[in-house]
Amino acid sequence: MATGTWREWTADDASEWLSAPSADDDKYRRGVLGVITGSPDFPGAAVLGVEAAHRTGVGMVRFTGPRAVRQAVLAARPETVGVPGRVQAWLLGSGMDTDHRSFLLAGDLQHALASGEPTVLDAGGLDLVGSHTAPTVITPHARELARLLNDRDIDATVEEVEADPAGWAARAAEELRVAVLLKGAVTHVCDPDGTRLTVTASTHWLASAGTGDVLGGIVGALAATHHERLATHATAITYLAATAAFVHSEAARRASEAWEGGPVTAMDVAHAIPPVIGRLLRGEARSPRP
Ligand SMILES: NC(=O)C1=CN([C@@H]2O[C@H](COP(=O)(O)OP(=O)(O)OC[C@H]3O[C@@H](n4cnc5c(N)ncnc54)[C@H](O)[C@@H]3O)[C@@H](O)[C@H]2O)[C@@H](O)CC1
Ligand SMILES: Nc1ncnc2c1ncn2[C@@H]1O[C@H](COP(=O)(O)OP(=O)(O)O)[C@@H](O)[C@H]1O
C-alpha cells in the first residue's frame, strides 16, 4: 500500500509538545485526565495507565472505572481522585473486554465520549471508534487493528498488518477518520490529514505485558495537559501521540540502562518517565543510542 512519506519523530519534535506548569497553573488549568480502564481480570492495566499518567505530569487523574478496580488504583497511587467530576481528556479501554461490558460501564463510556473532550481509545475501548466527535486517537497493536478492521468489514489478517504496518495504519486512519497509533517495534502514528510519523523503539525489552497500558497513560496525560490547544487544533492529537510514543521509548531505554541493559517491567518504564520529560524540557539531546 502506498502511504506517502513517513518521518521519524525526534527529541526536538517531542520537546515542542511538552510543557511544565507555570506560576499561573493549578491542577485544573494544568489538565484533568479521566480514566475508565481495567476489569476484574486485568486490574493491573488500570494501575499501570494511571501510574504513567501521573508520571507524565498531569494536573489530576480522575479514575471512574469499574469499582472492583478502583481500590487497586487508589492503593497504588493515592493521588488519584475516585469520583466523577470535571475532566479535560479521557483514556478509555485498557484492560477491558468488549464482550463483557456491563450496562453501567457502557453508559459511562458513552457519557465520556459524548463529553466532547479529547479521547484515547485503547484495547477494550477500540470498538467505540466512530462514535467520537472530539480529537481522538486509537492505540491498537497489530492483532487489535486487524480485529477492528475486520469488524468494519475490511479484510486484514494479523500477518498482513505486521507485514505492512505503515500501509494498514494509514488505511485505518482514512477509513475510521481518526488518528491511529499502531504499536510495534516501530510505532506508526498517522491521521486522515496525511500526517505520517514513526517512533523506533529504543529497546526491544519493551515487548512485555503492560507496556502498552503505560503508553496509554502517557498519551492521555499529554492530551489532558494540551486540552486548550486541542480545542482549537484537533490535529495536535497526532503529534501528542507521537510524543508519547517517543517518551515511552526513551523511558524504556533509561529503565533498561538502570539494569545495565537488562529487562524492564512495565512499571519500571512508568517510573522512568519523569527524567525523560525533564531532559526534553531542558532541551537536552537524547544520549546517543548504543
Ligand atoms: N497487567 C495487566 O493487567 C495487563 C493487561 N493487559 C490487557 O489485556 C487485554 C488483552 O491484551 P492483549 O494484548 O493480550 O490482546 P490480544 O488481542 O493480543 O490477545 C487476546 C488473546 O489472544 C491470545 N493470543 C494473542 N496472541 C497470541 C499468540 N501469539 N500466541 C498465543 N495466544 C495469543 C491470548 O490468549 C490473548 O489473551 C487488553 O485489555 C490489555 O489492556 C495487557 O496489557 C497485559 C497486561
Ligand atoms: N519487538 C518490540 N520491540 C520494541 N518495542 C516493542 C516490540 N513489540 C512491542 N513493542 C512496544 O511495546 C508496547 C506493547 O504494547 P501492547 O502490545 O499494547 O502490550 P500490552 O497490551 O501487554 O500492554 C508498545 O508500546 C509497542 O510499541
pLDDT tens, position by position, 243-264: 999 999 999 999 999 999 999 9
Closest residue by Cα to atom 33, ligand 1, is 143
Q: Is 85 annotated as a binding residue?
A: no
E strands within the chain? 7-8, 32-36, 60-63, 89-92, 119-121, 136-138, 179-182, 186-190, 196-200
Sign of dihedral through CA atoms 66, 71, 72, 75? positive
Confidence of residue 100 (pLDDT cuts 50, 70, 90): confident
The number of the ligand 1 atom at minimal distance from the alpha carbon of 42 is: 3
The number of the ligand 2 atom at minimal distance from the alpha carbon of 199 is: 27
Q: What torsion, rounded to 10 degrees, do the Cα atoms 26, 27, 33, 38 define? A: 170
- Using the mean position of ligand 2's atoms as its centre, give its distance from the Cα of residue 182 in Å: 10
Closest residue by Cα to atom 8, ligand 1, is 95
Ligand nearest to the CA of 143: 1
Reading the block at residue 231, the C-alpha cell is: 480545542
Q: Is 213 annotated as a binding residue?
A: yes
pLDDT at 290: 40
pLDDT at 287: 47
With cell 493491573, the residue in question is 44
Q: What percent of the chain has pLDDT over 90?
A: 90
Reply yes or no on whether the pLDDT at 289 is more than 50.
Answer: no
Mean pLDDT, the chain, whole residue set: 95
Are 144 and 130 contacting, i.e. CB atoms less than 8 angstroms apart?
A: no
Q: Is 167 annotated as a binding residue?
A: no
**Cβ neighbour number for residue 113 with a 10 Å cutoff:** 22
Domains of the chain, first to last: 7-281 (3.40.1190.20)
In whole angstroms, give the CA distance from residue 156 to residue 168. 8
The number of the ligand 1 atom at minimal distance from the alpha carbon of 43 is: 3
249 torsion bin: left (phi>0), alpha (psi -120 to 50), beta (else): alpha
